[in-house]
Amino acid sequence: MNQFKNRLKSFLLISICSLQSACFLVGGGSSGDSSAGLLFALLGVGGASVTAEEAPNNGPKPLAVEVRQNGSLIPSGGEYDFGGRVNNTNGPNVDFVIKNTGTETLTFSQSVVQDPSADFLVTQTSITSLAVGAEHTVSVSFQPKSLGLRSSTLRINGPSNTSAYSISVFGNSTATAEPEIRITQVSNLNSGSSYSFGNVQEATLGTAVSFTIHNLGSAALTFPGGSAALTLAGINASEFTIVGGFDGSSLAAGATRNFSLRFNPTDTGSLSSISKNAILTLVNNDTDEGSFQINLTGTATPRPQPEISVTQNGNPIASGATYNFGSRQEFTTSPNITFTIRNEGNANLTLTNNPNFLFKSGTNGADFTITQPNLPSGILAPNETTTFTISFTPSSVASGASKVGSIAIANNDFNESTYTILLAGTSTPTPVPDINIRQLSTNYLTGSTFTYPDTTENTTGTLLTFTIENLGQATLNLTGTPRIAITGTNASDFALSAFSTSSVAAGSFTTFSVRFNP
């Protein structure tokens, strides 16, 4: 530590102070030394907690030590409960281990001076130094001299520019023997406190966590109902399990028993983490903690899951959405449209019904043609893709212009196990020619009559021109031989001018002329 410089000598001062007596101090630096001191003090108070006043300093730094009890770290400002004890009886020694976590050796001499009038008795072996990383054990026992709550503060003082390391200790002095329950999981868990199991992947077995029941009292700790005294309740109680160790038998004074809990979150299929909660209750005969409760929490993290997506030309198509092929002439086939299936999850995506992964249905399903994905294994690894194509060949417009169908992709995506895409398209009629014949502005339907002006027999009549129009969308083919024929009883009285046109384009026309020569 930076505060130990220039071959400073340190020492251990350990005192036990009571309300009736002054502190007894043993040890010290040599005259003339610029000494840094390590003080381990037990300040006894009757019935109330008192924190010892720290020595004046400028900008105190944390003291480079740590204290553990039975392997559990007790931070500065923490506490330790000695439980219950019959007044004027001696409790067992509890060992506190002080470790030098600094960068320089701490040197000190002498051992603790015990004050027989204190409620807490401190003992330690004599040592001269504590190397970096080394440990020193101090034992404390609870020996109450008065009834009620007894409390003190264990304090380790370093140089004047460091802050004290303090631990509150307390115990309950009773007139008769009583049990005193405590539950620990590395550190103390008070009734009403919480314990978190952290993150556990859903649908997996979490690690069994061991908890210890302590009887810190002076009488047997019993559990009404036996093994049924330990229960789980709450909204997610079924996702926490008592996995063993608690049989409901009583605990003698000073005895312990372990039991284990496991957090087993169920499979929700959620893509987000979900908090789970339950309440652990242990019914016992402790007079002030007869229903000892611990709030249990845990976070269910999503299991690795596949996630299917479908795109067309980079545009996402959600399940249940429609892809429209637009208008298409009946009985003609559209180009193949390529669709891409991608696994956006972090587990394998399995397409079922191999090799017919896509199932087609719908009123006009036959108007849509599918090319199945080329995926022999039926499995897409995370971020892997495969493709399929669909073409549209609309049936006759006479059966309805609007054509609809659908495809379904069966897979193991938790919430999209049947991925559906609706298909739509419009059937348009096949282009056909549409013939119309007119004379001047008058249209003549097939089978209608055109009357020539009266003409003197054996004279040359008027030559009249007729127009053939194609009002349709396809070429009008004139297929007769001859192209135009005049028939009937008096066919010889009508003369057709030369006409050789064989076809008329859509929207175009041609003409022919006929003269009446009676």
492 and 388 within one domain: no
Mean pLDDT of 141-166: 81
Distance of alpha carbon 137 from alpha carbon 146, whole angstroms: 28
421 and 497 within one domain: no
48 and 128 within one domain: yes
Provide the domain count of the chain.
4
136 and 261 within one domain: no
369 and 262 within one domain: no
89 and 192 within one domain: no
Residue with tokens 């043993």: 26
Instruction: Please tell me the predicted confidence (pLDDT) of residue 161.
Output: 64
Residue with the bigger pLDDT between 106 and 45: it is 106
Instruction: Please tell me the predicted confidence (pLDDT) of residue 155.
Output: 78
Are the C-beta atoms of residues 55 and 156 closer than 8 Å to each other? no
Residue 3 lies in a domain: no
Question: Which of 301, 331, 347 corresponds to the end of one domain?
Answer: 301
241 and 359 within one domain: no
31 pLDDT band, cuts 50/70/90, is very low
Residue 249 lies in a domain: yes
Reported as a single tens digit per residue, the pLDDT across 324-341 is 999 999 999 999 999 999
28 and 161 within one domain: yes
408 and 364 within one domain: yes
Distance of alpha carbon 508 from alpha carbon 472, whole angstroms: 9
Residue 412's domain spans which residues? 308-428
257 and 366 within one domain: no
389 and 242 within one domain: no
- The CATH code of the domain that includes 424 is 2.60.40.10
Residue 2 lies in a domain: no
Distance of alpha carbon 330 from alpha carbon 510, whole angstroms: 30
Question: Which of 144, 174, 204 corresponds to the end of one domain?
Answer: 174
| Extended strands (E) in 230-336 | 230-233, 240-244, 256-263, 274-283, 291-301, 308-312, 315-316, 322-329
Query: Residue 433, preceding bond cis, omega within 30 degrees?
Result: no
Are the C-beta atoms of residues 104 and 4 closer than 8 Å to each other? yes
Residue 38 lies in a domain: yes
Residue 148 lies in a domain: yes
60 and 18 within one domain: yes
Mean pLDDT of 486-496: 91
In the chain, pLDDT over 90 holds for what percent of residues? 64
